[in-house]
Structure 1
């Protein structure tokens, strides 16, 4: 029997992972690296998230299940929270709740929603800090580029690094985290006040960018009623919001797929909406449910199993 070779891509905004056999029989992963450090060309796909799919693929026989991973990396924020003392009772309770949280960004998690609320408040405070005042002006480019060029999205993406001691001159990270925690504690997004309102999925909904937008009312209604999503920008299930700006998912994996070159019939794929994406068609959003769950669908290439569809 020949050895299997599987090509896996976990997300369009994560690096491509090509597992192949070396002469010594061990698998290698096709991440571009320089000086031993993984480099990616897309903001947000930092080394911890880029390495996570590799570990999961090494630990599971079925690489398709790796797409469902919703665990985030929050160690820096957790250390800062743990060091906060002298908090009022609601803020202390919220701090303790976040420290007990399993760091899974599931749609029904009120703890995940509370974390996102504190993170957003923290991003807004760092963005308004005088040390970053020179970067506060909106970029002179179309709004579609804002997640990559505007200050708030960049702060949200680099939040873990910015909280490190000495990362920014004059930035008192513990004081800002305390202020963000006090802002959320006792409010509507505090699980102790309203677990239903605090749920991550209540605010983290699919709201894809449209090349040809509908009218403003329809766009607003679509964002409010879009399907709830698990995941976050640093999860393998990379349904990205823009912390400090919106919890809606404006960007994410445009396609996930797993190709088995030894047995093509074992290959799988999924896209966010449907196979053709034409509004009102049978395949407009027929893959959305699987995409939301981080699942993949079979790739059928056997002509005897395919049915031709004709328009009109």
Structure 2
């Protein structure tokens, strides 16, 4: 579920906005028993992509199955060939992520590319219903930072995060591909021009750019969408 950027809740607890996929689910008939139970479970869901929510994972499974079935349609076959771009860009240019990014536009059409969207959604629900009980969303939506720092075996436990694509904190994965998060806010800050001591900020992996004892001090706060005071008073600062 895509939390809107102007939602005041930090980690993708979206307002009750339109969701084309859930709207199509509401009208589905002819489902098997397990798929029918999954459909009803998702229609009762509050649409919050909480880290502890198993319904959020169930929704993501249906969405992923729908995207993959759509990507297999002959009408989209010309897009399956990989473009001649550097490997670092390819995860965003594969056909499946591109279809995932445009899924709502596809679902807004009655018969896009001549495809029966209702049949595709029905098949996707059956696919998702055949999987084991979903794990909490945070187990799939876990931070895995890309940095220029050397790899270290420091045993850090990367946090499980709430949210989804286009949420306020932008903790996003490449849509419908394996792996952890690929994007998150590197820093957030609020600077008070009238009183510098009231300024707040957060940096998930330290401010110095090097590994050290305080590299992960702010990480738990960052994961919760919190901020800490900006300290600039030399009488309060100490060298380590």
Tell me which interval the TM-score lies in, with the shorter structure as reference length.
Answer: 0.7 to 0.9
Query: Residue by residue, what CA displacement relative to the aligned partner does 1:121-144 show, whole Å, maximum 9, x if unpaired?
Result: 111112222221111112322232
Distance change >3 Å, CA 98–CA 213, structure 1 → 2: farther
- Tell me how many residue pairs correspond in the alignment: 237
Query: Residue by residue, what CA displacement relative to the aligned partner does 1:250-303 show, whole Å, maximum 9, x if unpaired?
Result: 212222222222222222111232223423x12222211111111112111222
One of 103, 107, 122 as aligned partner of 1:178: 122
Structure 2: gaps of 5 or more residues:
none
By how many angstroms is 1:163 displaced? Answer: 0.9
Structure 1 counterpart of 2:173: 241
One of 206, 227, 232 as aligned partner of 1:301: 232
Distance change >3 Å, CA 158–CA 271, structure 1 → 2: farther
Counterparts of 1:142 and 1:129, CA distance in 2: 27
Distance change >3 Å, CA 84–CA 256, structure 1 → 2: same
Distance change >3 Å, CA 259–CA 135, structure 1 → 2: same
Distance change >3 Å, CA 259–CA 168, structure 1 → 2: farther
Higher strand share: 1
Query: Residue by residue, what CA displacement relative to the aligned partner does 1:57-100 show, whole Å, maximum 9, x if unpaired?
Result: xxxxxxxxx53453275611111111111111110110111111
Secondary structure, aligned partner of 1:205: coil
Structure 2 counterpart of 1:159: 103
Structure 2 counterpart of 1:128: 72
Asked whether the equivalents of residues 107 and 117 of structure 2 are also in contact (C-alpha less than 8 Å), the reply is yes
Give the root-mean-square deviation of aligned CA atoms: 2.6
The alignment status of 1:250 with 2:182, answered yes or no, reads yes
By how many angstroms is 1:244 displaced? Answer: 2.0
Secondary structure, aligned partner of 1:249: coil
By how many angstroms is 1:108 displaced? Answer: 0.5
Map residues 99-138 of structure 1 onto 2, 5 A cutoff: 99-138=43-82
Asked whether the equivalents of residues 230 and 237 of structure 1 are also in contact (C-alpha less than 8 Å), the reply is no
The alignment status of 1:291 with 2:222, answered yes or no, reads yes
Distance change >3 Å, CA 293–CA 74, structure 1 → 2: farther
One of 192, 195, 205 as aligned partner of 2:142: 205
Asked whether the equivalents of residues 49 and 235 of structure 1 are also in contact (C-alpha less than 8 Å), the reply is yes
Map residues 51-90 of structure 1 onto 2, 5 A cutoff: 52-53=6-7, 56=8, 66-71=9-14, 75-90=19-34
TM-score calculated relative to the size of structure 1: 0.68
Distance change >3 Å, CA 285–CA 122, structure 1 → 2: same
Query: Residue by residue, what CA displacement relative to the aligned partner does 1:25-80 show, whole Å, maximum 9, x if unpaired?
Result: xxxxxxxxxxxxxxxxxxxxx9x824x24xx3xxxxxxxxx534532756111111
Structure 1 counterpart of 2:4: 49
